[in-house]
Amino acid sequence: MADTRKTETPTGNFDAMAAEFMSILAKNQETLKKMMVSPQEALTSMLDPFNAMGSFAEGARQLAGNPEKIVKANLDLWQQHLDLWEHATKKMLGAETEPVAEPERGDRRFKSSEWEDNPVFDVIRQSYLITSRWLTKTMADIDNLSEEDARKVDFHTKQIADALSPSNFMLTNPDVIKETVESGGKNLIRGLDNLKRDLEAGDGQLKIMMTDPAAYEVGKNIATAPGKVVYQNDIMQLLQYQPTTDTVYQRPLLIFPPWINKFYILDLQPENSFVRWAVDQGYTVFVVSWANPDSELAGKTMTDYLKEGILEALDAVEKATGEREVTTIGYCIGGTLTGAALAYMAANGDDRIKANTFFAAQMDFSEAGDLKVFIDEKQLESLDSKMAELGYLDGNSMYSAFNLLRANDLIWSFYVNNYLLGKDPLQFDLLYWNSDTTRMPRELHMFYLREMYLKNNLAKPDGIELGGVPIDLGKVKTPIYLQAAKEDHIAPYESVFKAVNLFGGPVRFMLAGSGHIAGVINAPAANKYNYWMNEEQPKDIEAWIAGATSHPGSWWTDWDRWLAGYSGEQVPARIPGEGGLPALEDAPGSYVLMKS
């Protein structure tokens, strides 16, 4: 939404601006009260919410025991700053000189030309880059730390370094200074108003608005692929989409998205909708839309999601189409459940799924990336206690944790835009979806975090049981297409690849460009990114990468060629609601409209 509020040229009337600040504060006393907690509550929440103090204490102890390393690190830092002052002096004298430190590719914090052209801001920028990199490298190089302590020290040091960027402060950000001067401080007034808005949206907790919420309406201009809800129960609705071809593959395609987000990441806009594209290729597409659980679903377990989600969806697809055999897709945590379901079905002689695709889904969590920094027994006990009263984890908590994984892009850039520059966010379908949070049932969420992330039991034969059945991925003989993304920070490709050696059937691993979302949602028409394929499919990730060939554009076409071979003959297209199940309501259904 464009910022249509008028800005005024500076008048020098700072008394008026101060009076406006006080007026806004006075009008927002109730919002501010929600932020206030008792001293005891504040102390409890601030002491060590991520259970990281012990890791930092151990890091400090190890550093103190190696004074030579500390001296060398400080000498390196001193030398780099001396080089910076030499660079600054030459630049002020008009001499050509190369910068000592440059932002990494894709770092948008310093995109303004002032950061380089203005000598003062050039020094500020480079001094920060030198110091922050020195800090993160020094902490990352500490010897004799456990894997868990090293992960926490590294992650939280980066969070501190990102927070202290000069771009995040009014007096050291040239864009903010310029806007403040030109608007007479109106940007700060608007920023305070935006802060109030975001605090109210989070009921006293800060929920930064990333995109204009009025720009999108689910079912109107987002999640608009035509279809019907043909089945529902307590935890899901099943959507069947309208065909666009006269004939379709015999075997329907059933998709299990993550319940940690809304399903319409697969159906954002017509031009980037995976659902629409798959329908256009001649697949009869069904998608599960998970419920946004409340207290009534607090006791739902992984077994419930297996039986009421996956198995009931399979039964419903058969009733709707008359076809017993299907192909499936599991995305992220939905893929983890699908993997466990394949093992459950194999143990019970259920062979309905003839081919399965995983989008960014992990089975082995031993190298599960930065999310593991939030998962140890102490943090899980605290999380369980937090969920105990309502029976679920509120959507904002999970939303905030995921945003921390990419703090510069998903926190600090919006902090600067919304509060320092006083601007409204742009329209962006992906960020609207990202902000449309979901809750997590207590029993299901704790089982997933403990058994998968903490204990890595899914990767162990018979490591977990679902519905009384030991789960052994090695018994799964179903052909699998395993997608991962090179820059995925939630399901790192090295972690996803481990499934190659867990399943007992053929696995075709493919590595896409970009990350957890753009690495999946990449329509061929966009002609973006690339993907890598190694037709030899070695079982070692390094050998796979070494022998892989890069292909331009979307991997969807490679997947389509693969899946077509498992999808059967062509049959007349099926119309939702005209088969064995009646249409209950139009897609995208009502469950997806439930707000957290």
Q: What's the whole-number mean pLDDT along residues 511-526?
A: 95
Q: Which of 150, 279, 288, 332 is flagged as catalytic?
A: 332
Whether 45 has a pLDDT exceeding 80, the answer reads no
How does the average pLDDT of the chain come out, rounded? 91
What pLDDT, on the 0 to 100 scale, is given for residue 498?
98
Whether 42 has a pLDDT exceeding 70, the answer reads no
Question: What are the residues whose beta carbons fall under 8 Å from the beta carbon of 526, sequence distance 6 or more?
Answer: 271, 272, 554
| 126-to-162, 168, 209, 398 alpha-carbon distances in Å | 14, 15, 30, 34
Which tens digits make up the pLDDT trace of 184-234? 999 999 999 999 888 888 777 788 899 998 899 999 999 999 999 999 999
Can you name the residues that pair with 331 across neighbouring β-strands? 359
Q: What's the whole-number mean pLDDT along residues 126-148?
A: 95
What pLDDT, on the 0 to 100 scale, is given for residue 558?
98
| Residue 22 pLDDT level (bands cut at 50, 70, 90) | low
Whether 349 has a pLDDT exceeding 70, the answer reads yes
What pLDDT, on the 0 to 100 scale, is given for residue 137?
95
CB 332 within 8 A of CB 520: no
Whether 46 has a pLDDT exceeding 50, the answer reads no
Token look-up 């395609």 returns 253
Which tens digits make up the pLDDT trace of 70-128? 999 999 999 999 999 999 999 888 888 999 999 998 899 999 999 999 999 999 999 99
| 354-to-31, 48, 278 alpha-carbon distances in Å | 54, 48, 18
What pLDDT, on the 0 to 100 scale, is given for residue 202?
75
Whether 320 has a pLDDT exceeding 90, the answer reads yes
Whether 44 has a pLDDT exceeding 60, the answer reads no
Q: Measured between alpha carbons, how far is 360 from 354 in angstroms, rounded to an integer?
A: 20
What pLDDT, on the 0 to 100 scale, is given for residue 200?
85
Percent of the chain residues topping a pLDDT of 90: 81
Can you name the residues that pair with 531 across neighbouring β-strands? 512, 551
> Which of 15-24, 425-434, 474-483 is most confident?
474-483
| Residue 6 pLDDT level (bands cut at 50, 70, 90) | very low
| Residue 24 pLDDT level (bands cut at 50, 70, 90) | low
Nearest to 312 by CA among 294, 291, 336, 288: 288
What pLDDT, on the 0 to 100 scale, is given for residue 401?
83
| Residue 145 pLDDT level (bands cut at 50, 70, 90) | very high
CB 288 within 8 A of CB 257: yes
Tell which phi-psi region holds residue 94, choosing left (phi > 0), alpha (psi between -120 and 50) or beta. left
Q: Is 332 part of the annotated catalytic residue set?
A: yes
| 218-to-213, 223, 440, 593 alpha-carbon distances in Å | 11, 6, 21, 7
CB 259 within 8 A of CB 305: yes
What pLDDT, on the 0 to 100 scale, is given for residue 125?
97
Q: Measured between alpha carbons, how far is 383 from 378 in angstroms, rounded to an integer?
A: 9
Whether 43 has a pLDDT exceeding 50, the answer reads no
- Written as six digits, the tokens of 330 are 């599991």
Whether 49 has a pLDDT exceeding 80, the answer reads no
Q: Measured between alpha carbons, how far is 384 from 386 in angstroms, rounded to an integer?
A: 5
What is the full DSSP assignment across 145-176?
--HHHHHHHHHHHHHHHHHT-GGGSGGG-HHH
Q: What is the DSSP letter of 542?
A: H
Q: Is the dihedral of CA 474, 478, 481, 485 positive or negative?
A: negative
Q: What's the whole-number mean pLDDT along residues 352-377?
A: 94
- Does residue 338 or residue 197 have the better pLDDT? 338
Can you name the residues that pair with 247 across neighbouring β-strands? 572
Q: What is the DSSP letter of 295?
A: G
Q: Measured between alpha carbons, how far is 220 from 267 in angstroms, rounded to an integer?
A: 12
Segments in 348-461 forming alpha helices (H): 377-388, 395-404, 407, 413-415, 429-435, 442-447
CB 480 within 8 A of CB 537: no
What pLDDT, on the 0 to 100 scale, is given for residue 203?
75
The residue type at 78: W
Whether 8 has a pLDDT exceeding 90, the answer reads no
Phi and psi dihedrals of 41, rounded to 5? Answer: -65, -40
Domains of the chain: 14-47+188-213+395-424 (no CATH), 54-184 (no CATH), 227-374+439-593 (3.40.50.1820)
Task: Work out the burial of residue 535: count CB atoms within 10 Å of its CB; fewer than 13 is exposed, 13-18 middle, 19 or more buried.
Answer: exposed
Q: What's the whole-number mean pLDDT along residues 434-460?
A: 95
